[in-house]
Structure 1
Amino acid sequence: MHHPHHHLPKRIILVRHGESQGNLDTAAYTTTPDNKIQLTSSGLAQARQAGNHLYNILSNDENKNWRVYFYVSPYDRTRSTLREIGRSFKKERIIGVREECRVREQDFGNFQVKERMKVIKESRERFGRFFYRFPEGESAADLVCTEDCFLQNAKSTNIVGFLESLWRDIDMKRVHRDPSHDLNLIIVSHGLTCRVFLMKWFKWTVEQFEHLNNPGNCEFRIMQLGAGGEYSLAIHHTDEEMLEWGLSPEMIDDQKWRMRANKGDWNEKCPWYLDEFFDHVADSDRESDDKENGSSGMCD
């Protein structure tokens, strides 16, 4: 029996690249462009292990007709991570792979002077990680949506644009041609990019983003399709895991609501917009009138 939302991917899985030379020693950035930084031998092993783990998760599905479609950042370390992950999958399981510039790493500037970067990153902690823009580089906010006047129609170039084209690919069945297959989209990217993707998808605030921790090398976040057509992190991941990632109890409750929510529903118990701005506002016109008349609003 098909899922009522069988045209949607069963999972969208965000994977951070394996350990890189830059993770091991930031001096690597002083001589090597960021996009050319290589994986360490440990990073290659992490990626092979991640591939095994992902394969085991997917092959445990009730529907044995599962398939995968990969998106990968164009950086050497993400491409190498995908190559190692790919060893776990037979070609018949892979629908396709696309290199996707919009899930690349944040631009920290060109060759990076070690001592200067140390000072810059300390400034970022004081300024705030979301809006801080690296000299000659980008901020996390730029990754969400960069308007580039040189691009036709000034289309958004980063995460927002990627999400739009991702949904277009899904709607037009470019990545999912056979409804009997369970499709899994796997995005091999970078820590910050994964956090920004989740922020935009789940409509988290900047303040909530600031509390998120970076995924470890080759860690993944699995967004799984719930019964009503919404995606949730809570189907595959535990409360403890999500707390470790920096999600608040309210954000975790929202993920649990999404497990059963109908697509397009609004979570009225999701407090971080209404309560943030309108917690001082009366619940109803009558309550406001009662306050103006000096009444408590309770029956006499």
Structure 2
Amino acid sequence: MMRSNGKHENGRVKSEDRIGSRKWVPKRIILVRHGESFANADVKVFSTTPNHMIKLSPKGIAQARNCGHLIKQLVSQEDDEDWKVFFYVSPTARTVESLREMGLAFPKRRVVGVKEEHALREQHFGNYNDPPAIYRIKDERTTYGRFFYRVPGGEAGCEVYDRISSFVEGLKRDIDANKFGRGVDDDDDPAIPSESSLNLVIVSHGFTARVFLMKWFNWTVEQFEKLNRMKSSEFQVLQLGKGGGEYSLAIHHDDAKLMEWGLSAEMIEDQKRRAAGGELEHKYCQWDTHRFLHLFRDSSDSEDDDDEQNARS
């Protein structure tokens, strides 16, 4: 029963009433590659252990734990006393273990939620593979192209793109629906973050993270093929630009780091345009337009007359 002051009988305000029509847009989306796994250290592990069950090495555990502290430093900066985090995690052992180690840096009251997301899993490389097969597949994939190459008995990169696309579209719908404005705090009160304090942390894999960026920024296959994988427990920060800016890698990362990850000068400039928002022009589908515009005839003052003449003929 609702009281006249807007509170319910238990004295609390429902989260729906507190949120109202405001959209709680995450300040950052942080992509994390898992720590070093036993298979990263010794490729022979692929021949004896199912891929999804491969765990972190001792080095990987330390890397993931340090990664958690670095991310906490990032999201709690600027004297933001109301920061929160929401975690997505791939369902593999090495990503879940990475989340476990990273989580040591975050008090429970700061965690809005955690979701295991199957779409974030690693590209499927088939079942058991011995080292010679792994090396051959990776060499073939590099020559053929990572996006279209189908791993024997596994997935093609474009199939990973399809499931990541579904995840990204669902993520955007969740943001629009204010789903991140609700959570569980220590006292069961909704953990509603301030407008600029929510951070989404996605713990996944190197290839998956590159595909996520490709989908989010509408990069072409050619641009994707030139991207480089993050190091173990490295993370990429998509931060929302101020004054109407979009999510951009250029706010937290400098040009040198973006070049290390394989972004071209043109792609880096686009990241800066996104961060600036209304200060610089940003064109939708600019990559595809530039690539295909030469297929169309040149514009002319008499193009309407040409159209009429072609119609009569």
2:40 is aligned with 1:23:
yes
How many pairs does the alignment contain? Answer: 273
Q: Conserved in 1, the CA contact under 8 Å of 2:36 and 2:59?
A: yes
The alpha carbon displacement at 1:120 in A equals: 2.0
The alpha carbon displacement at 1:286 in A equals: 3.0
The alpha carbon displacement at 1:229 in A equals: 4.5
Separation in 2, partners of 1:15, 1:269: 27
RMSD: 2.3
TM-score normalized by the length of structure 1: 0.85
**Among 261, 273, 281, the residue aligned to 2:277:** 261
Separation in 2, partners of 1:58, 1:283: 50
Q: Conserved in 1, the CA contact under 8 Å of 2:24 and 2:180?
A: no
Separation in 2, partners of 1:84, 1:102: 22
**Among 193, 201, 222, the residue aligned to 1:186:** 201
Bigger Cα Rg: 2
- Structure 1 partner of 2:147: 130
Q: Conserved in 1, the CA contact under 8 Å of 2:23 and 2:177?
A: no
- 1:228-267 to 2 correspondence within 5 Å? 228-261=244-277, 267=282
Q: Conserved in 2, the CA contact under 8 Å of 1:103 and 1:193?
A: yes
The alpha carbon displacement at 1:285 in A equals: 2.2
5+ long unaligned stretches in structure 1: 146-157, 290-300
- Structure 2 partner of 1:213: 228
Separation in 2, partners of 1:266, 1:137: 41
- Structure 2 partner of 1:76: 93
2:149 is aligned with 1:166:
no
Change in CA separation of 1:269 and 1:186 when aligned onto 2, cut-off 3 Å:
closer
The alpha carbon displacement at 1:166 in A equals: 1.1
Identity %: 50
Q: Secondary structure at the match of 1:276?
A: helix
After the TM superposition, list the runs of 4 or more consecutive aligned residues in structure 1 that deviate by more than 6 angstroms: none
Residues 237-288 of structure 1: CA deviation (Å, up to 9, x unaligned): 10110011000000000000001225xx972498522221124656532398
5+ long unaligned stretches in structure 2: 1-21, 183-191, 305-313
2:240 is aligned with 1:225:
yes
AA of the residue aligned to 2:212: F
Q: Secondary structure at the match of 1:71?
A: strand
Separation in 2, partners of 1:257, 1:229: 8
